[in-house]
Chains A and B, each alone.
Chain A
Amino acid sequence: MGNGDDKSSREPATLPGPVLFYNDVVIDHFMNPRNVGELPDAETDGFGLVGDASCGDQMKLWIAVRDERIARIVFKSFGCPGAIATSSMLTALPVNRTVDEARRITDDHVIEGLGGIPEKKRHCSLLGVRALQAAIGDWQKRPASP
């Protein structure tokens, strides 16, 4: 039970009923989240902190920008498996992309990257997107680095 041997029960993106099941990609991002961490102030070009008032989840996200490209991105998340997995997936998307490209990442890209997420957890994927937007907004407000 729950060791990946029962794949059929986890594959569909959404299942009816009150209980949530996640697919193997989501579980992998939950168990082994990418880009967890914090950047020291000296290395931070943009920081975003967002909360989801509907469920109490919270995310902090740091970016380092070089030549208008996202050079590094790290996060910390307090929340359900959906919040952690979508945070992880979100941070895997913009690395080495231009800030303009990163700004266009949507919750659909995150969900697509994970191969689907339970319908009730769709809102989780917005957490990372909003945190990234906030970090990019913060970067824009900062004076250009020397």
Chain B
Amino acid sequence: MNYLDYSASTPVAPRVFEAMLPFLQESWGNPSSPYRFGNKARTAVERARKRIAGHLGCRPTELVFCSSGTEADNLALRGVAHALRSKGNHIVVSAIEHHAVLHTCKALEAEERQVTYVPVTADGVVDLDALGGSLRADTVLVSVMHANNETGVIQPVEEIAGLAHRRGVVFHTDAVQSAGKLAGMLAGLGADLVTVSAHKLYGPKGAAALYVRQGTSISPVTTGGAQELGLRAGTENVAAIVGFAEAVALAFEGVDAEGRRQAQLRNRLEQEVTAAIRAVRVNGARAQRLPNTSSLSFEAVDGESIVLGLDMQGICVSTGSACSTGEPEPSHVLRSMGLSREEAQGTIRVSLGHETREQDIDYTVRVLAETVARLRQISSVRGGVE
């Protein structure tokens, strides 16, 4: 198998797996139990919290463990909207957010909140002027992702944080795709709330965290026990949280060198693809991007057909994002960048990871060129291809 979909998920690193095992097999107690056996699990959770906080540059008490990035995003948006209801009911997000944010905004609109969706430039970067202009007296929250999941384009979150804070508005950023791929700490992002997920950085599925800057107004979404400072009730996923901490530690070891390595491979991929295949565009190429992500649009063919064609040759890539496969609507991210419906439809995302080597790139380009050529022979749409 030739896996090039690391932005969808990553394998659990061996030392992460090793770290998790004792909390599945031996110390499997409930961290909230009053005896010493339960306390072993509690100690592990709190140690993991301290480790992650150390790497991210925050206080341990500023981290709320959740089950997924989606849940953390929901807590950020719904939690702030609810807590600040008396202050206002307006939320500002970018048009290219993950569905975890966009669909939550749709749900909040149904509860009579108002949401402004800020456009992006052709390069996929949030329009700062439009964002600044959208802030109102009743705006309570701005949420803009750190790096886009489909294009890898990095957003100017520090500037956005500044714009929001000057108006006294809470700022959330979904850093699920960037965490572990870029050097620097959460503190550098300037956000009040940051979402991070374990399985995007060689940790297990089922663990994520929301950083909540001390003093930020937020209400729980899940109610029940007093876990996670009362912000997220429910028994902690101890083994996954322990694995998450190990994965974060791993991510910060040599993040710069690994980033440079992946960026070189990604550039090689894009150079080879554009040399071997006509009528291709690299989305967001002029913007600052994550080192591992490439969004490629092929004229006159359908992205899902490319994905299946590659799958038949043992290569895993995705269309826009894994979550939207099966949706007839082409990517809202690419449409926001001004791509036509047909261009958006012909797009795949290739995302590299720790295991990716030069020969994987070369093989993928070869199969990709064959697949696109075959689909173009079948295609009823010619465009500028022939």
State whether A54 and B378 are in contact (beta carbons under 8 Å apart), knowing that A1-B1, A79-B302, A81-B308 are contacts in the complex: no
A83-103 vs B: 1/0 string, CB under 8 Å? 110000000000000000000
Determine if A36 is an interface residue (Cβ-Cβ < 8 Å).
yes
Set of chain A residues within 8 Å of B301, measured between Cβ atoms = 78
**Total contacting residues, chain A, CB less than 8 A:** 31
Q: Point out the residue from A27, A59, A75 that lies within 8 Å of B308, measured CB to CB.
A: A27
Interface size class of B (residues with CB under 8 A): 20 to 34
Bound-complex Cα distance A31 to B375 (A):
9
Set of chain A residues within 8 Å of B359, measured between Cβ atoms = none
State whether A78 and B308 are in contact (beta carbons under 8 Å apart), knowing that A1-B1, A56-B345 are contacts in the complex: no
A2 touches B314 (CB 8 A): yes
* Distance to closest chain A CB from B93 (angstroms): 22
Q: Which residue of A lies closest to B303 (CB)?
A: A80
State whether A30 and B305 are in contact (beta carbons under 8 Å apart), knowing that A2-B314, A19-B326, A56-B330 are contacts in the complex: yes
Q: Which residue of A lies closest to B325 (CB)?
A: A19
Other A-B pairs, 19, CB within 8 Å; known A2-B316, A56-B342: A1-B316, A3-B312, A18-B323, A18-B324, A20-B325, A30-B305, A31-B312, A54-B328, A58-B380, A59-B380, A75-B380, A76-B380, A77-B380, A80-B302, A80-B304, A83-B302, A84-B305, A84-B378, A120-B328
Set of chain B residues within 8 Å of A20, measured between Cβ atoms = 304, 325-326
A1 touches B302 (CB 8 A): no
* Distance to closest chain A CB from B371 (angstroms): 10
Interface centre among A1, A3, A31, A56, by most B CB within 10 Å?
A: A56
Bound-complex Cα distance A3 to B1 (A):
10
Determine if A55 is an interface residue (Cβ-Cβ < 8 Å).
yes
Set of chain A residues within 8 Å of B378, measured between Cβ atoms = 33, 36, 76-77, 84
* Distance to closest chain A CB from B111 (angstroms): 25
* Distance to closest chain B CB from A39 (angstroms): 13
Set of chain B residues within 8 Å of A30, measured between Cβ atoms = 305, 308-309
A111-130 vs B: 1/0 string, CB under 8 Å? 00000001010000000000
B342 touches A18 (CB 8 A): no
B contacts, CB < 8 Å to A: 1, 300-302, 304-305, 308-309, 311-312, 314, 316, 322-328, 330, 341-342, 345, 375, 377-381
Determine if A22 is an interface residue (Cβ-Cβ < 8 Å).
yes
Q: Which residue of B lies closest to A2 (CB)?
A: B311
Bound-complex Cα distance A84 to B306 (A):
12
B305 touches A79 (CB 8 A): yes
* Distance to closest chain A CB from B164 (angstroms): 32
Bound-complex Cα distance A75 to B377 (A):
11
Set of chain B residues within 8 Å of A76, measured between Cβ atoms = 378-380
Bound-complex Cα distance A75 to B312 (A):
23
Bound-complex Cα distance A83 to B342 (A):
15
A78 touches B312 (CB 8 A): no
* Distance to closest chain B CB from A77 (angstroms): 6
Bound-complex Cα distance A49 to B382 (A):
14
Set of chain B residues within 8 Å of A19, measured between Cβ atoms = 322, 325-326
* Distance to closest chain B CB from A52 (angstroms): 9
Bound-complex Cα distance A88 to B145 (A):
42
Bound-complex Cα distance A33 to B374 (A):
11
Bound-complex Cα distance A139 to B311 (A):
40
Interface centre among B311, B324, B378, by most A CB within 10 Å?
A: B378
Interface centre among B304, B308, B380, by most A CB within 10 Å?
A: B380
Bound-complex Cα distance A33 to B375 (A):
10
Bound-complex Cα distance A79 to B301 (A):
7
